Structure 1
Amino acid sequence: MPDTAPLRLAAITVYGDRAAAALQQVTSLLDSAGIAVEETQELLALIQAGAIEGAQGDVLELAEHPPENSTAPAVQGWVDAVQAAAAELTHLADRTLTRARPAARPAAPPTPPASTLPTLIDEAPQEQSEQVLAAAERIFAELTGRSDYSREASLETLAVVLTAVAAEDQAGYITQLEDFATRNRDRLTELYRKYGPGGELARLERSGLIEQPESIVICERLDAAPMLLQGVWEGELEESTLERFTQLWKFGCNTSRGAQPVKAR
């Protein structure tokens, strides 16, 4: 069988050249339409970062398809390599946005035009954390029948996780969370049944999040804004905890996820 690697590499070069030309054309068109250069740079960076995040999902799916007839050590090596590649894609997406943001936010910015981009928050109000936790507790109790968890730990985690909800969505977030739980009830039930305390695969769950009601909020954010969730989590909470829980939610259940509403962030 001929080696197709040189052809694939040549195709990558062609795609790169076409992408550079397309970026130049889009920049020129937006400039002609009166869009500020800074805003154009940030919009293009967001599109690029989103494409990288989509590629990360495709890469992670490879973890479930190791080469045929692989030994157990080889399978584990395959999974580790796939996860390492996926993690690097996340860092690439973050760097793409970081490079664009300094130019997009000068010291004395002009009055920005109306934008559909979400408004990020630095801190979730205590009252909001309390109300979201109360909703998560109700859902968690319905799905698991459990109430033996650390409410203090839940509030500490939600104080971070809720900063991954745009300011525009904060007021209606409880409804958004309840809708998510309704759409994904079967998948959530499977998640807790398999990996929760006493579950058939509980020994594989090592993050501790699945024992807490805020895990429902984390599942919702993993579906709606995974990159934003990871960004606010880093440096605030144990990163490996989120990584392990993400694997369970994305790849540990056979039940399909509910359709994501178009307007959800």
Structure 2
Amino acid sequence: MSEPTPQRLAAITVYGDRAAAALQQVTSYLERAGVAPEESQELLALIQAGAVEGAQGGVLELAERPPQDSTAPAGQGWATAVQAAAAELAHIADRTITRARPAARPAAPAVPPAASLLTPIDEASQEQVEQVLAVAERIFTELTGRADYSREASLETLSVVLTAVAAEDQAGYAAQLEDFAACHRDRLTELYRKYGPGGELAVLERSGLIDQPESIVICERLDAAPMWLQGAWDGEMEELMLERFTELWRFGCDTPRRTQPSKPR
């Protein structure tokens, strides 16, 4: 593979300069439109991260095109290097979003603002975990046609996620999940179609959660109590997994989220 020419390197520098100027211009437009600066930062970071992940596909194609006349060991080394580069691009995309967030919003409390009206729980009962999983499994299979998931992983994840449901809501949560899935059926279907195994945008390991039925519960909690979910998740599960899945649910689908009618307690 030939070395980049000085002209090519100069062009890359120009792109960077132009991008910086464009970001400043777009930020100015958004501010004039009344968009809060912190929201503008996060939106622009998401666009940048999306561009990086888009470039990842081009990098992965290189794995199938090793330099001509390469020996077998050299070809294997080439493929390994390409995979490492692609993985680093994913990390760069994640860091781009993460760095935009400290200024975008302050650290969230582990419980929702109305916590004084709700009773947190320390642990979900095994019976509750099993009941909610049964509902999630049925909905997941209906939407995806798949049943090749890890039930053990589902039980482990739900034992954490369900601590983000108030004690007052635990008894009726399975029915609440049914209502959520019915209200957002089209959006959930798009999510799994695009990013699930074999999906058109399923690149590397975007998020292990997309393969699992508990992802429906996580989508519901992301809409209903995102701060509480984050507080329950932190320190218990892999942070990056929830981070990447959250981006898919919030920004990765064209189908709009519908507003569910609130129910009296």
Percent of aligned pairs sharing the same letter: 67
Is 2:167 the counterpart of 1:167?
Answer: yes
| Structure 1 match to 2:42 | 60
What is the number of residues matched between the two proteins? 192
In structure 2, do the counterparts of structure 1 residues 171 and 55 end up closer, same or farther at CA, with 3 Å as the change threshold? Answer: farther
In structure 2, do the counterparts of structure 1 residues 81 and 197 end up closer, same or farther at CA, with 3 Å as the change threshold? Answer: closer
| Structure 2 match to 1:183 | 183
Q: Match for 1:262: what amino acid?
A: S
In structure 2, do the counterparts of structure 1 residues 209 and 79 end up closer, same or farther at CA, with 3 Å as the change threshold? Answer: closer
Contact 2:121-2:166 at 8 Å conserved across structures: yes
| Structure 2 match to 1:247 | 247
Q: Note the C-alpha offset of 1:118.
A: 1.3
Q: Note the C-alpha offset of 1:202.
A: 0.8
Is 2:261 the counterpart of 1:261?
Answer: yes
Contact 2:196-2:202 at 8 Å conserved across structures: yes
- Separation of aligned partners in 2, 1:157 and 1:77: 26
Q: Match for 1:227: what amino acid?
A: M
- Separation of aligned partners in 1, 2:37 and 2:261: 21
Q: Match for 1:147: what amino acid?
A: A
Is 2:213 the counterpart of 1:231?
Answer: no
- Separation of aligned partners in 2, 1:77 and 1:203: 15
Q: Match for 1:125: what amino acid?
A: S
| Structure 2 match to 1:149 | 149
Contact 1:195-1:205 at 8 Å conserved across structures: no
Q: Note the C-alpha offset of 1:65.
A: 5.1
Matches within 5 A, 1:1-265: 59-64=41-46, 80-87=95-102, 92-94=107-109, 117-203=117-203, 205-263=205-263
TM-score (norm. length: structure 1): 0.63
In structure 2, do the counterparts of structure 1 residues 77 and 161 end up closer, same or farther at CA, with 3 Å as the change threshold? Answer: closer
| Offset from partner CA, 1:90-111 (integer Å, 9 cap, x none) | 553339x8xx9xxxxxxxxxxx
In structure 2, do the counterparts of structure 1 residues 164 and 205 end up closer, same or farther at CA, with 3 Å as the change threshold? Answer: same
SS at match of 1:138: helix
Contact 2:46-2:97 at 8 Å conserved across structures: no
In structure 2, do the counterparts of structure 1 residues 59 and 218 end up closer, same or farther at CA, with 3 Å as the change threshold? Answer: farther
Q: Match for 1:173: what amino acid?
A: Y
Contact 2:39-2:104 at 8 Å conserved across structures: no
SS at match of 1:235: coil
In structure 2, do the counterparts of structure 1 residues 198 and 122 end up closer, same or farther at CA, with 3 Å as the change threshold? Answer: same
In structure 2, do the counterparts of structure 1 residues 65 and 208 end up closer, same or farther at CA, with 3 Å as the change threshold? Answer: closer
- Separation of aligned partners in 2, 1:203 and 1:214: 21
Contact 1:144-1:192 at 8 Å conserved across structures: yes
In structure 2, do the counterparts of structure 1 residues 56 and 153 end up closer, same or farther at CA, with 3 Å as the change threshold? Answer: farther
Contact 1:224-1:260 at 8 Å conserved across structures: no
| Offset from partner CA, 1:207-262 (integer Å, 9 cap, x none) | 21000000000000000000100000000000110001001101111110121333
Q: Match for 1:84: what amino acid?
A: R
| Structure 2 match to 1:32 | none
In structure 2, do the counterparts of structure 1 residues 242 and 261 end up closer, same or farther at CA, with 3 Å as the change threshold? Answer: same
Q: Note the C-alpha offset of 1:86.
A: 1.9
Q: Note the C-alpha offset of 1:59.
A: 4.9
SS at match of 1:92: coil
Q: Note the C-alpha offset of 1:163.
A: 0.3
Q: Note the C-alpha offset of 1:60.
A: 3.2
Q: Note the C-alpha offset of 1:129.
A: 0.2
In structure 2, do the counterparts of structure 1 residues 55 and 214 end up closer, same or farther at CA, with 3 Å as the change threshold? Answer: farther
Contact 1:136-1:214 at 8 Å conserved across structures: yes
In structure 2, do the counterparts of structure 1 residues 165 and 55 end up closer, same or farther at CA, with 3 Å as the change threshold? Answer: farther
| Offset from partner CA, 1:72-123 (integer Å, 9 cap, x none) | 8xxx98984443232565553339x8xx9xxxxxxxxxxxxxx962111000
| Offset from partner CA, 1:15-60 (integer Å, 9 cap, x none) | xxxxxxxxxxxxxxxxxxxxxxxxxxxxxxxxxxxxxxx9976653
TM-score (norm. length: structure 2): 0.63
